[in-house]
Structure 1
Amino acid sequence: MEDRRLQILGAIVEDYVATREPVGSKSLLERHDLGVSAATVRNDMSALEDEGLIVQPHTSAGRVPTDKGYRAFVDRIAQVKPLSAPERRAVESFLAEAGDLDDLLARTVRLLAQLTQQVAMIQYPVRRQATVRHVELVRVSDSLLLLVLITEAGRVDQRTFALAAPRDAAFYERLREILNTATAGRQVTELADALDAVVQRTAPEDRPSVREVVDELAGMLEARREERLVVAGTTNIARAALGASADIEPLLDVLEEQLVLLRLLADLSTAPGDVEVRIGDEIRGAALTRAAIVGAGYGEGSHIAILGPSRMDYVTGISSVHAIARYISRFVG
């Protein structure tokens, strides 16, 4: 696409986000220094419409961006606009006052919602603390092993799995004693190094058989992880609903379902600090055809994002999510 048409598309997006009204060629020329004639603007708008990037909602109206147009606009943003020095100092000062991780994340979503005027969400994994009482290994058959994890609180987790490198019953009796020595009386969140040490101390010829049991036990410990979600800025959705309730009602429905929000965040493939934008039908698994999500990773398995109508201010949203994700990644890292 020609640079001039991209410039006009960007102007249409910016004006529509600001005014919530269809944008005409006359208003574009009045608000932006495009350096071309009115006829050229009209021709370029016609070309953008032919490409499916803008659409005329009704006769005699101006144009509004389509999801394809928003995507072209977002992809056009070559670099994330950095926060100004005063904005950066304000962010750092506000978040630095947090007393602990929970307070930091609560402050983060409130600040992000305020900066972007969208719904802000932050997800983070928390392991349920428990003290290991006993690990049991039961050889069910030649190729099946039952692994049982019992905690001091009396909870019993068990898993039966196929053995790729099976050994005799005496081997698993010895391994059970080794695992109990390494884990009994310790918190489930503190066992990664201890289990790795068990494998490393094993004779090379026995290591594959020990490794598959340790990996299954580690998987059981990982399953004790909970996903927590903090949300702020739902009142921003109410403000955005003025004159556009059809865009907002699906968002309100989704905001009532925490599991849906967690899946939206988990579906983001962002590395820490990178920003991903999904618009309309790009948001898989949710009926949000008129919505957009801007998210970033900030730690292993953790995401921060804003959710709002597709006519959101992407420049502010992307820069704010990027900056805050980088800040809290330093804190939690």
Structure 2
Amino acid sequence: SSDLDETLSQTARLLSQLTNEIALVQYPSLGKASVRHIELIAIDDKRLLLMLITDSGRIQQHVMEVASGYEASAVEKLRNFLNEKVAGKPLSSVNKTLRASKDEISAPLQALAGTVIPEVALLVDANSQEKILLAGTSNLAKRQGEFPGSISPVLEAIEEQVVLLKLISEMQADQHGVSLRIGRENTVDALSNTSVLVSGYENQGSEVAKVGVIGPTRMDYSSNIGAVRAVARYLTQSLGGL
């Protein structure tokens, strides 16, 4: 877990409490994320801690077993090599860059690099999973009377990360930075009796993800739009401080 996880989960809970709707917070899009730093720390002579830190504040870490007998200085040299190659680069290019750089690794580091670089690749791949946090799904059950028919299809649809990610990625913001789809404007049949309201939040001046709410079509639009915009601004400021 990292500061980013904590910030996003707190934000989702806060937005659901403010609006009494289901809140959704998308993790920063990693297609646009870059590597801030790779850390490699010797825990003992057989284990290393590998940390991948992105510019959006996400931290992935993994403890790996290594063959004993390497020099302590080798860890530092390999860490420096990795950062020299990928720090500041987009996550999407990391694996290709490291594969292309294998021949540049000095002979004494080859064995250690052979263990560490595949683990870096796994962390990059784990980071590449697009993800949405939800909070307040119980709010839907409390307002069941505002939906014609069962709310089960709605709950099933929003639990499908791929469906939700596709839907919000298609939503274009208006001049106030807000995207709204009401009822049958939603491309997902199960959400044809709901409204989906989202706004983008930024990191380093460009939009990285969306935050918003899902609720019945009779939701309080002006209040919810105000809450979603305020939370998007808060997330933009928070990311700048991570």
Query: For the superposition of Structure 1 and Structure 2, which TM-score range results when normalised by the shorter chain?
Result: 0.5 to 0.7
Q: Tell me the distance in 1 between the aligned counterparts of 2:145 and 2:190.
A: 20
1:240 aligns with 2:137: no
On the 8 A contact 2:25/2:134 being kept in 1, the answer is: yes
RMSD (CA atoms): 3.4
- Give the drift of 1:326: 1.1
Q: Distance in 2 between matches of 1:189 and 1:246?
A: 52
Q: Indicate conservation of the 8 Å contact 1:128/1:224, yes or no.
A: no
Give me the whole-angstrom Cα distance separating, in 1, the residues matched to 2:161 and 2:132: 8
Q: C-alpha distance in 2, partners of 1:270/1:184?
A: 42
Question: Which aligned runs of 4 or more in structure 1 are off by greater than 4 angstroms?
Answer: 126-131, 221-224
1:267 correspondence with 2:174: no
Do residues 297 (structure 1) and 213 (structure 2) align?
no
**2: CA distance, partners of 1:324 / 1:265:** 17
Q: Kindly state the Cα deviation for residue 245 of structure 1 after the two structures are TM-superposed.
A: 5.3
- The aligned residue for residue 312 of structure 1 is 219
Q: Does 1:278 align with 2:181?
A: yes
Aligned with residue 329 of structure 1, among 220, 228, 236: 236
Whether the 8 Å CA contact 1:273–1:298 is kept in 2: the answer is no
Computing the radius of gyration from Cα coordinates, the structure with the larger value is 1
> Would you say the 8 A contact 1:297–1:303 is kept in 2?
yes
* TM-score scaled by length of structure 2: 0.56
Distance 1:306 1:272 in 2: 19
CA offset at residue 269 of structure 1?
Answer: 2.3
Query: After the TM superposition, which residues 1-333 of structure 1 pair with which residues of structure 2 at under 5 Å, given as runs?
Result: 100-124=3-27, 125-126=29-30, 185-186=82-83, 188=86, 190-192=88-90, 225-242=128-145, 244=147, 246=149, 248-270=151-173, 274-299=177-202, 300-333=207-240
Call closer, same or farther: CA 1:224–1:101 in 2, change over 3 Å. Answer: closer
Higher strand content, 1 or 2: 2
- Segments of 5+ residues of structure 1 without an aligned counterpart are 1-98, 132-152, 154-182, 196-220
The corresponding residue for 1:19 is none
Judge conservation of contact 1:274–1:297 (CA < 8 Å) in 2: yes
Return closer, same or farther for 1:189/1:249 CA change in 2, 3 Å cut-off. farther
The alignment-based identity, stated in percent, is 35
Per-residue CA distance 1:170-192 (angstroms, 9 max, x = gap): xxxxxxxxxxxxx9623756325
Structure 2 CA distance for aligned equivalents of residues 332 and 107 of structure 1: 14
Helix, strand or coil for the counterpart of 1:254?
helix
Q: Which letter maps to 2:88?
A: E
For these two proteins, the number of residue pairs brought into alignment is 158
TM-score (norm 1): 0.41
